[in-house]
Amino acid sequence: MNSSRPGLVYLHGFNSSPKSQKVSELRALLPRLCPEIELLVPELGFDPARAYQRARRALASLQGRPAGVIGSSLGGYYAAALSEETGVNAALINPAVYPYRLLQDYLGPQHNPYTDERYELTRDHMAALLALDPGKLRYPERLLVLLQSGDETLDYREALARFPDSPTWLQAGGDHRFQQFDRVVPAILAFLYARPNTPPPG
């Protein structure tokens, strides 16, 4: 494999998986837009600490190569933390800004419809999410925040307030899945690889 081949890590959201619709769209689009990009989509699972370690390992496997990260919803939270830790450019799609607050309403039995996994979401998981919050961002310019105001799950205004110094793209309407995701992929790729970054190993 060419060691200079760019890599792209996609981080899915809560109760999602590498089989999500946006991942399917990326797999279809990349061969046409940027066939040289290798797409990595780790199965994150529900445990936040384990999910973040899996995300870190996926990114670390691209050491020495141009790399970028896309994170959707809860994956956007992990992507922002990875960007702060490593300096990698990341695109956040309708990101969960404070998931340790948002998911309080989901404590208890859960079912992932993509994987059919059943588990218990606990307060310990909320504490693990809080521990991943990077606080004040050192590299806000390395985050591209893409929002749709019609998001029925997350208040887009929280993301605007959380990332005031990051380039932001806000579209009226839409929903949490992010309608017409395919239309923004070229802009995302242009941002992610605008300046080379080679994240350190995790």
Query: How many whole angstroms separate alpha carbon 155 and alpha carbon 136?
Result: 20
What is the structure's pLDDT at 126? 96
Is pLDDT of 201 > 80? no
pTM: 0.92
> For the segment 121-139, what is each residue's pLDDT rounded down to a tens digit?
999 999 999 999 999 999 9
Give the pLDDT confidence score for residue 194 in this predicted structure: 84
| Rounded-to-integer distance, Cα 30 and Cα 189, Å | 10
Domain locations along the chain: 7-192
**Rounded Cα gap, residues 161 and 1, in angstroms:** 42
Average pLDDT over residues 147-165: 92
How many angstroms separate the CA atoms of 85 and 2, rounded? Answer: 26
**Strand residue runs (E) in 34-161:** 38-40, 67-72, 89-93, 108-111, 118-121, 143-148
Q: Which of 66, 87, 56, 86 is nearest to 2 (CA)?
A: 66
Answer whether residue 1 shows pLDDT above 50: no
Cβ(146)–Cβ(93) below 8 Å: yes
- Residue 62 burial class via C-beta count within 10 angstroms: exposed 0-12, middle 13-18, buried 19 and up: buried
Position 2 pLDDT exceeds 80: no
Q: What confidence tens digit (pLDDT) does each residue in 21-78 have?
A: 999 999 999 999 999 999 999 999 999 999 999 999 999 999 889 999 999 999 999 9
List, for residues 88-117, the tens digit of each pLDDT value: 999 999 999 999 999 999 999 999 988 888
Q: Could you count the other beta carbons within 10 Å of the beta carbon of residue 140?
A: 17
Distance CA 133, CA 57 (A): 19
Question: 127: which strand partners?
Answer: none
- Quickly list DSSP for 99-128: HHHHGGGG-EEEE-TTT--EEEE-HHHHHH
Res 152: pLDDT: 86
pLDDT tier, 17 (very low <50, low <70, confident <90, very high otherwise): confident
| Tokens describing residue 90 | 């990341």
Sign of the Cα torsion 68, 128, 176, 150 reads negative
pLDDT for the residue numbered 109:
95
Indicate the CATH number of 7-192 among 3.30.70.420, 3.50.50.60, 3.40.50.1220, 3.40.50.1820.
Answer: 3.40.50.1820
Give the pLDDT mean for 79-86: 96
